[in-house]
Amino acid sequence: MTDTIITDSRTDSVQHIECDDCGLFPLCKPIDIGGRELSMADEFVERRQPIRCGEYLFHEGDGFHAIFAVTSGAFKLVNQDPSAQELVVGFALSGETVGQSAIYPKRYPFSAIALEDSHVCQLPMHCVNNTLNQVPSMQQNLQDMLNKENYDLHRQFAMLMARKNAEQRLSAFLMNLSLRLNERNLASEQFQLPMSRDDIANFLGLRKETLSRLFTKLHQSGAIAVRGKHIRILDKQLLQDSSGLPQQI
């Protein structure tokens, strides 16, 4: 299967992440080559391509062909189990990159599905490979990006998967979202959840009914205010205490 990027250009009313706050920036930032600046962004990046809600950016098992940066919107990352049930293994938010985990296996290890109307910048991998061969210093920029991804994945695993009970998992999930939004200079104390309750429950390994009760409990405790998909963190310390996370995360 191939990706299903739509190439219209209706982006005027969409607020995009700033380039400096984007996870792809280590590869896009200009580098000096013998007194001449080379910009991957200017020469190779296919900018702000729209992806409709529910469309696939790529499918699990597709051959690796590009790294993507989410410039607006969000994606869920899913695997299928042997019975063809969807398993949510993560989310990619605005400013985050997706697809680089396929560099070494050469195939995307999961599918990426738009949770809302979104936009991505696409960096074709053949362009990266050609540039790496011509400009060895670019390899450090790629390594910086991969190191950041590995750090973020490790931190997310530590924050979420090590939580022993359901309330801790949900609280840690909300803390993790807030932290990731803050790193991209986006609103991190009040935000709209791009994913459904079903997707959150799937990701956290909870029943939807359990998740709803936990949202109500956190709301009643004064840690958060919940209105549909809108989350407002009222007491960050209380939410962190509820997550069981250490002070330094």
* pLDDT, position 101: 86
Per the model's pLDDT, the better-predicted residue between 1 and 243 turns out to be 243
- For the chain, residues classed under CATH 1.10.10.10 are 163-243
Q: What is the DSSP letter of 137?
A: T
SS (H, E, C) 156-185: HHHHHCCCCCHHHHHHHHHHHHHHHHHHCC
Q: Measuring CA to CA, which residue among 204, 199, 196, 205 is closest to residue 228? A: 196
Topology given in CATH for the domain delimited by 19-158: Jelly Rolls (2.60.120)
**pLDDT, tens digit, for every residue of 41-82?**
666 788 889 999 999 999 999 999 999 999 999 999 999 988
Burial class (CB in 10 A: 0-12, 13-18, 19+), 116: middle
Contact predicate 112/56, CB 8 Å: yes
Contact predicate 93/185, CB 8 Å: no
Q: What is the DSSP letter of 100?
A: G
In what helix (H) or strand (E) does residue 121 lie, and over which residues does it extend? strand 118-124
How far is residue 22 CA from its own chain's centroid? 11
Q: Is CATH 3.30.70.330 correct for 163-243?
A: no
**Residue-averaged pLDDT of the chain:** 85
**pLDDT, tens digit, for every residue of 126-165?**
877 777 676 766 777 777 777 777 777 767 766 676 667 9
Please, where are the H alpha helices in the chain? 25-28, 40-43, 125-134, 138-160, 166-183, 197-204, 208-221, 236-243
Alpha carbons 168 and 162: distance in angstroms, whole number: 9
CA angle 174, 68, 185 (to 5 degrees): 45
Per the model's pLDDT, the better-predicted residue between 88 and 153 turns out to be 88
- For the chain, residues classed under CATH 2.60.120.10 are 19-158
What's the whole-number mean pLDDT along residues 220-233? 97
* pLDDT, position 204: 93
Cα torsion at 215, 220, 225, 231 (round to 10°)? -10
Tell me which residue has tokens 């459904």. 196
* pLDDT, position 34: 63
Per the model's pLDDT, the better-predicted residue between 39 and 1 turns out to be 39
Using the predicted structure, report yes or no on whether residue 193 has a pLDDT greater than 50.
Answer: yes
Using the predicted structure, report yes or no on whether residue 10 has a pLDDT greater than 70.
Answer: no
